Amino acid sequence: MIIRPLVRSLCAGAMVLAASIGFIAPGVASPPSDQHRAPRAPALPEGLSALSWVVADATTGDVLASRAPHMHLPPASTLKTLFALTVLPKLPAEKLHTVSPADLAGLGAGSSQVGVQEGRAYRVADLWRGVFLRSGGDAVHVLAAMNGGVQKTIADMRQRAEELGADDTRVMSPDGYDTPGQYSSAYDLALFGRAGLADPAFAQYCSTAVASFPGGVDSDGRVGSSFEIQNTNRLLTGTTDVDPYPGLIGIKNGYTTLAGNTLIAAAHRGNRTLIVTVMNPQAGSVYEEARSLLDWGFAADDKVQPVGALRPAGVNPAVLHRAKANTKPTAEAAPLPAQAPPADGTSHSDAHAGLMSPIGMAAVGALLVSLVGSLWLLRRRMRR
């Protein structure tokens, strides 16, 4: 009888700690959504299956609702947004670079590619379109080489994440390729998306639906045949099974075996711009879950109290530059891989996720309080 209160307190404290640090064991449902609703506010969408998601106001940084926002998960190609935030300001758009074999060394097997060829010269702006529209890992590696190499770029990305307050992100590859120990969170991806919208160049690239990618110039000055590339973000371009979302600005989608489908999407309506991040839906489409969250966010305008805020507060993209694509989509976007089967998608590091964050520290405190109370109760009963 004496042991039962102790066990109950330990279990309660452990549940608080597990929910706060974002560790969800395989087969266990995601924690409930965070939302402070006024009586007139719409209910959150039904059927959301993503392990983690965030809805935030791009201008104020207010987080309107979320589920497990700090859960550590593989980000897939959405990590390319941090790559762009890090490298894009350093390289002039018109700079030409001739691709060497070393530039493409280390490109992961099965990586998405835009079609960069060794021995040909490309403008930086064209390489960025290859990154944003076709998620080209080959373009990422060339730009990383221009930045001083992959390892330097990884170090730079870690520093940039730290500057942005992205405490949930650990970079191990510049392109989001599945790499042991690499993770991010829905919260951090929203940070990256918001910071990107404050940069006109980033905003233009991420909102371009269709572009012409050059064949490059060889050593003899001959220009290769160019070809059309279309953005793989289905909410931007639309496909036979996904309608384009009205007012969508774009940003970045991703997919790997470990990450499942991931997405950062931003849309503008009236005088409001929202950012939604969705990580690894366990059923259904990442695009439809993002669509339902955007719809909810616009319907909840001024009807919900924020549950948090994107750091740093100084980032305020009050004026967003939504670039118009050079041409309208003329063909259906290349289909994305099928949804991965349900999986926990976590790394060994996830068990320690958020322990040093304010929420994680609060959870540790709650656990300690539970332990102290249980020990006091045990001692009191023993005295009897």
3-state SS, residue 43: coil
CA–CA separation, 239 and 232 (whole Å)? 10
Of 311, 332, 336, nearest in space to 239 by CA: 332
* CA dist., res. 90 & res. 195, Å (int): 16
Dmax over Cα atoms in the chain, in whole Å?
A: 95
DSSP for 84-102? HHHHGGGS-TT-EEE--GG
Give the list of residues 6+ apart from residue 335 with CB closer than 8 angstroms, or none. 239
Reply yes or no on whether 33 is catalytic.
no
Catalytic site includes residue 95: no
In angstroms, what is the C-alpha Rg of the chain? 23
**Of the listed 9, 20, 77, 285, which one is catalytic?**
77
Would you state the structure tokens that stand for residue 257, as one six-digit string? 């075996």
For strands 272-281 and 260-269, give the pairing: antiparallel
Q: Which of 30, 135, 173, 370 is catalytic?
A: 135
Burial environment of residue 24 by CB neighbours within 10 A (0 to 12, 13 to 18, 19 or more): buried
d(CA 323, CA 308): 29
Question: CA-to-CA distance for 340 and 261, rounded, in angstroms?
Answer: 8
The answer to whether 111 is a known catalytic residue is no
Where is 347: in which H helix or E strand? none
Cβ contacts of 376 within 8 Å, gap of 6 or more: none
Closest listed residue to residue 58, CA positions, set 282, 289, 351, 315: 315
| Catalytic residue selected from 30, 80, 285, 370 | 80
Task: Show which residues are catalytic.
Answer: 77, 80, 135
